[in-house]
């Protein structure tokens, strides 16, 4: 059980940390106390995340850096911008949120990332990578134009330095010359091992620095002859500096604070620092469920069905065994997308391009142009970053890139920054694009086979996080007919047309509706583009009302169906009623996925309520009940 002692209990395990609830209090402590404060902060993070789950390894790696930053700079007057937010748990504890940390990533509780609405110490929200330098430069230029005096600091990880946006910002910042401090948190890790030439470059920078007897970067690291690439861009380059040596960190940050112009600090850290189970884990315990703080053993419920991600990976491996042209591409998410499994089977056909979604898509387009079959496996929320490449480099040229879109729909504890809400809309509006979504894991296997066989243009299939429904996957998986759905059960009065993973809830709702006397058909659309026009028109013709449901925003599948019915003269010319159930037009805060869908009205109960409102308007039902 997680316990935290209060100030009136002399046996507190964190006596110094208890005295520094805010950075202003931290800055009153003697420099000699900072090491002890950092030790207590590290233990507090370990004990907190053991209860809540979350992003552990990155936060453990920046304990000393966080203490030093808040000790040297006058936050929140000075703006401290964290990249991604995985590394911000110690920052939250030191900025007045310690007593709320056990609500981290829980419904109604603290966000797992920095969030402007949560604290004045979070000047910029961050959950997608590589935004810190651009936003910090914006803060710096605004400060200059307003004639204000404050320091602007961006903390960016070496994994985030694989994204083009970081270099666009460095290019601009170096040219503008405004006072700005960039701290590279170099732990030689992204979520997985880093890839790319820049990761190798940072390693060489660290290796070239003078070393002490203990193998740590010496204090005179800026005096060595090598002139870094960052200095060529106009930055004063400091480091590499040991990111776990508080004396050196404080001294380096104080020096940077006095420099007029852009400064780049290279801090060497260890992901998972100070926690043995994290330091031996392959991903340094990047993202974890609740765990035993002593052993690090995670508490995970036994799966009742294989995860969709696993089904995708195994299906792709099966297809690749039959076609050597199949290639898998990930943007720094091999384990999250299941491509670690594919990579183990086919390492020469697996490409991790780093946090570079734009490059991933156009790289795939080039492969497709030469007859290869690239599968670009990217979370829905991250694929947004490559929209222009999807339009210009793929769809416009009708190149057969396969998009495997994981984390479709609501994702739970990661909240609105990671929700897959918009891909149906932003892909469905593109000429030449085919868009699929499975209602269960067996259909996901079929859609992988369909994408592998399809060479007539780009094709995408989206699937949710978490377990499947438990249906059996056939031994022989055949491709689907393009643009054809299926009837799951037949009724006569109500038609529910599901696109994607709400199918199980639609079937459950149909059982309830039948019990209420509303005979219900359930159809699985399978395709949002092209639509199964024959199926949809038949559903509209043969039923009193038609309800579409999807795990996506306005402008998606329901809008496509509505457009079809309008064009065919079905809506407005008949008594048939039609409604669409979509995600609400807002960013839904983090919670358990089932609660999020219930709040959105996209569970069986919500479907039943929507159908009853269609057939018996609320006012009529109230009159019946009161009568």
Active site residues: 271, 357, 385
Pick the closest to residue 589 from 426, 447, 415, 366 (CA basis): 415
Coil, strand or helix: which one is 187? coil
Give dist(CA 537, CA 55) in Å, integer: 48
Task: Work out whether strand 434-436 and strand 527-529 pair parallel, antiparallel, or are unpaired.
Answer: antiparallel
Number of CB atoms found within 10 A of residue 315's CB = 23
8 A C-beta contact, residue 278 and residue 194: no
8 A C-beta contact, residue 105 and residue 111: yes
Give dist(CA 262, CA 177) in Å, integer: 6
Coil, strand or helix: which one is 265? strand
Burial class (CB in 10 A: 0-12, 13-18, 19+), 141: middle
8 A C-beta contact, residue 439 and residue 412: no
Beta bridge partners of 403: 376, 460
Rounded to the nearest 5°, which phi and psi values hold at 219? -70, -25
Q: How far is CA 413 from CA 53, 56, 277, 595, 596, in A?
A: 9, 14, 23, 11, 10
8 A C-beta contact, residue 353 and residue 164: no
| Kind and range of the H or E run holding 545 | strand 545-550
DSSP per position, 368-382: HHTT-EEEEEEEHHH
Give dist(CA 562, CA 276) in Å, integer: 56
| Kind and range of the H or E run holding 549 | strand 545-550
The owner of tokens 């720094």 is 332
8 A C-beta contact, residue 260 and residue 232: no
The token duo for 566 is 């309008």
8 A C-beta contact, residue 271 and residue 284: yes
SS3 assignment for 393-429: HHHCCCCCCEEEEECCECCCCCHHHCCECCHHHHHHC
Give dist(CA 226, CA 264) in Å, integer: 15
Rounded to the nearest 5°, which phi and psi values hold at 240? -65, 145
């Amino acid at each position: 059980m997680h316990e935290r002692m209060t100030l009136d209990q002399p046996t507190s395990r964190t006596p110094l940390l208890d005295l520094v609830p805010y950075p202003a209090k931290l800055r009153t402590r003697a420099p000699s106390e900072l090491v002890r404060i950092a030790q207590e902060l590290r233990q507090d993070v370990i004990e907190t995340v053991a209860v809540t789950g979350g992003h552990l390894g990155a936060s453990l790696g920046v304990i000393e850096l966080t203490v030093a930053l808040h000790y040297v700079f006058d936050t929140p007057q000075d703006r401290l911008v964290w990249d991604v937010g995985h590394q911000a748990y110690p920052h939250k504890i030191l900025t007045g949120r310690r007593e709320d940390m056990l609500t981290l990533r829980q419904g109604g509780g603290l966000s797992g990332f920095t969030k402007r609405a949560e604290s004045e110490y979070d000047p910029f929200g961050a959950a997608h990578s590589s935004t810190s330098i651009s936003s910090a430069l914006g803060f710096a230029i605004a400060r200059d134009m307003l004639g204000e005096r404050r320091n602007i600091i961006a903390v960016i990880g070496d994994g985030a330095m694989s994204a083009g946006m970081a270099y666009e910002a460095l290019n601009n910042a170096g040219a503008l010359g405004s006072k700005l401090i960039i701290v590279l948190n170099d732990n030689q890790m992204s979520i997985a091992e880093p890839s790319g030439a820049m990761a190798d470059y940072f390693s060489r920078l660290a290796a070239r620095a003078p070393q002490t007897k203990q193998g740590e970067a010496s204090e005179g690291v800026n005096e060595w002859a090598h002139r870094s690439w960052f200095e060529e861009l106009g930055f004063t380059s400091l480091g590499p500096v040991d990111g776990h040596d508080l004396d050196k960190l404080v001294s380096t940050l104080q020096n940077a604070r006095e420099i007029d112009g852009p400064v780049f600090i290279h801090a060497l850290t260890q992901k998972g620092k100070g926690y043995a189970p994290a330091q031996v884990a392959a991903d340094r315990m990047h993202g974890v469920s609740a765990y035993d703080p002593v052993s690090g053993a995670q508490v995970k419920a036994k799966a009742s069905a294989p995860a969709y991600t696993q089904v995708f990976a195994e299906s792709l491996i099966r297809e690749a065994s039959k076609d050597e042209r199949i290639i898998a591409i990930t943007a720094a998410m091999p384990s999250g997308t299941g491509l670690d499994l594919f990579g183990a089977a086919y390492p020469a056909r697996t490409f991790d391009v780093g946090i570079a979604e734009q490059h991933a898509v156009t790289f795939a387009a080039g492969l497709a142009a030469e007859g290869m079959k690239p599968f670009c496996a990217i979370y829905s929320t991250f694929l947004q970053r490559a929209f222009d490449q999807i339009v210009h480099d793929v769809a416009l040229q009708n190149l057969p890139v396969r998009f495997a879109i994981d984390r479709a729909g609501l994702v739970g504890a990661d909240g609105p920054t990671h929700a897959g809400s918009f891909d149906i809309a932003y892909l469905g509006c593109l000429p030449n694009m085919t868009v699929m979504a499975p209602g269960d894991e067996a259909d996901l296997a079929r859609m992988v086979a369909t994408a592998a066989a399809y060479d007539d243009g780009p094709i995408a299939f989206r699937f949710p996080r978490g377990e499947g429904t438990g249906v059996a996957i056939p031994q022989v998986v055949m491709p689907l007919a393009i643009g054809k759905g299926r009837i799951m059960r037949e009724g006569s009065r109500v038609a529910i047309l599901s696109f994607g993973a709400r199918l199980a809830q639609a079937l459950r709702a149909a059982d309830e509706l039948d019990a209420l006397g509303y005979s219900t058909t359930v159809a699985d659309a399978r395709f949002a583009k092209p639509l199964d026009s024959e199926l949809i028109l038949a559903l509209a013709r043969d039923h009193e009302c038609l309800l579409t449901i999807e795990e996506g925003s306005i402008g998606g599948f329901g809008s496509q169906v509505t457009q079809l019915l309008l064009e065919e003269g079905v809506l407005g010319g008949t008594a048939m009623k039609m409604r669409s159930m979509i995600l609400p037009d807002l960013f839904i805060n983090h919670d358990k996925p089932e609660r999020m869908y219930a709040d959105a009205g996209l569970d069986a109960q919500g479907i039943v309520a929507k159908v009853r409102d269609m057939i018996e308007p609320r006012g009529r039902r109230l009159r019946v009940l009161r009568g």
